[in-house]
């Protein structure tokens, strides 16, 4: 996060945004193909991240025990950056926090699981850490987020630690108290990578949160030190995914990574994303670039490279062009991903298109 200097959009830019979205999602076959071709090349180097004897990821077994609930089809949604700081999102003061979710038609209430990247600590505690931009979510905004259908929030990002460890850990507590599972942060390195475990429709699902964008320095969790999950420790990330997969049927990774304003993943992201799948991830939701990026599949598992802004100011047509990631898991274990186009039509107000 950090793209805050864009000028407000005019009405002409609003029209441009819808045109750009159509080009990105409907006419972007070349971009997706390019990412796929790049991914296939880079995946050869992913071997250095994964055990040499690892077999290709197989679909989860479609045959539960006779006493288990039969597996049904799961619909899982993910979003990019969500900001609930009333000093940054001007419309909250007049429209309330429910406004953030009012343009989605109840989408997240109808699915089985929704995961967002919460780009600020939801806390009144702590002391501001000097940096260029600091955000503080209002804890009073969390009930509206839960009522909208959000079950999991990732705090592993470059704003979770904006007010230090006390605010981060208080945010984790506030999320839990609101019925939202926090991931990507904890009182030490192991706790920060601990997944949220949810059971639904005969499935046991793990959600692992990761923050690779480290700001400020010292914000990464360590033994005896609260913080965000993993930083640049790829070995710890991969082991967390493997460990989560040992006791669950599905593993979803939500990760803050990449470079701001990029519209495609870089080679090192492709390499790591493929390594995640090879370690056992079934869905990967990426965010941080503030620009919508493509979705591709590796070994039959979707990787959403960058989900852009979501509950965010509408600084520009490019930044307001966004989407909801949808992953559909069939009873036989197959998983397919797609992007549902959306547009931020006023500060903090994403609206589904079509």
Q: Domains in the chain and their CATH numbers? A: 11-50+70-352 (3.60.21.10)
pLDDT, tens digit (0-9, with 9 covering 90-100), for 48-103:
344 333 334 444 444 444 457 899 999 999 999 999 999 999 999 999 999 999 99
How much is the pLDDT for 8?
Answer: 42
Assigned token pair, 108: 């997240």
User: What pLDDT does 69 receive?
Assistant: 83
Cα angle vertex 162, ends 158, 165, to 5°? 105
Residues of the chain with pLDDT under 50: 1-66
Tell me the average pLDDT of the chain.
87
Start-end of H helices in 59-212 = 92-95, 107-110, 142-147, 164-177, 189-192
Q: Are the C-beta atoms of 129 and 93 separated by less than 8 Å?
A: no
Burial profile 40-63: b = 16 or more Cβ within 10 angstroms, e = fewer: eebbeebeebbeeeeeebeebeee
For the chain, the 3-state helix, strand and coil shares in percent, each to the nearest 5, are: 30, 25, 45
pLDDT digits (tens, 9 = 90+) for 142-151: 999 999 999 9
Best CA proximity match to 145, nearest among 195, 201, 199, 96 = 96
Q: Alpha-carbon dihedral of residues 35, 312, 97, 351, nearest 10 degrees?
A: -60
The H or E element containing residue 284 is: strand 283-287
| Cβ contact 285:325 at 8 Å | yes
Letter string b/e over residues 135-146, b meaning 16 or more CB atoms within 10 A of that residue's CB = bbbbbebbebbe
Give the C-alpha separation, 233 to 255, whole Å: 13
**How far is it between the farthest Cα atoms of the chain?**
60
Give residue 275's Cα distance to chain centre.
18
Distance in angstroms between the alpha carbons of the first and the last residue of the chain? 28
């Amino acid at each position: 996060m950090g793209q805050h200097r864009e000028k407000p959009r005019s009405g002409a830019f609003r029209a441009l945004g819808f045109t750009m979205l159509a080009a990105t999602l409907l006419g972007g076959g070349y971009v997706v193909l390019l990412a796929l071709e790049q991914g296939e090349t880079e995946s050869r180097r992913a071997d250095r991240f994964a055990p040499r004897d690892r077999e290709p990821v197989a679909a989860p077994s479609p045959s539960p025990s006779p006493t288990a609930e039969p597996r049904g089809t799961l619909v899982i949604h993910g979003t990019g950056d969500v900001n609930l700081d009333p000093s940054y999102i001007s419309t909250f003061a007049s429209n309330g926090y429910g406004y953030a979710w009012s343009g989605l038609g109840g989408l997240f209430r109808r699915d089985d699981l929704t995961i967002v990247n919460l780009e600020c600590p939801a806390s009144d505690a702590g002391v501001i850490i000097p940096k260029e931009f600091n955000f503080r979510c209002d804890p009073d905004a969390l009930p509206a987020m839960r009522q909208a259908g959000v079950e999991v929030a990732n705090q592993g990002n470059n704003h979770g630690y904006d007010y230090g460890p006390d605010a981060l850990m208080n945010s984790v507590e506030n999320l839990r108290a609101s019925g939202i599972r926090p991931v990507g942060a904890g009182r030490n390195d192991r706790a920060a990578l601990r997944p949220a475990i949810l059971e639904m429709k005969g499935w046991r699902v793990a959600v692992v949160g990761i923050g690779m964008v480290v700001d400020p320095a010292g914000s990464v969790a360590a033994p005896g030190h609260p913080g965000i999950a993993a930083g640049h420790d790829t070995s710890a990330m991969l082991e967390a995914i493997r460990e989560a997969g040992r006791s669950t049927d599905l593993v979803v990774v939500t990760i803050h990574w990449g470079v701001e304003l990029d519209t495609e993943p870089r080679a090192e992201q492709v390499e790591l994303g493929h390594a995640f799948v090879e370690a056992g991830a079934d869905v990967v939701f990426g965010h941080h670039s503030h620009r919508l990026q493509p979705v591709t599949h590796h070994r039959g598992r979707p990787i959403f490279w960058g989900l852009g802004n979501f509950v965010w100011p509408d600084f520009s047509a490019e930044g307001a062009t966004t989407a909801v990631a949808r992953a559909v898991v069939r009873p036989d274990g197959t998983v397919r991903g797609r992007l549902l186009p959306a547009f931020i039509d006023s500060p903090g107000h994403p609206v589904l298109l079509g």
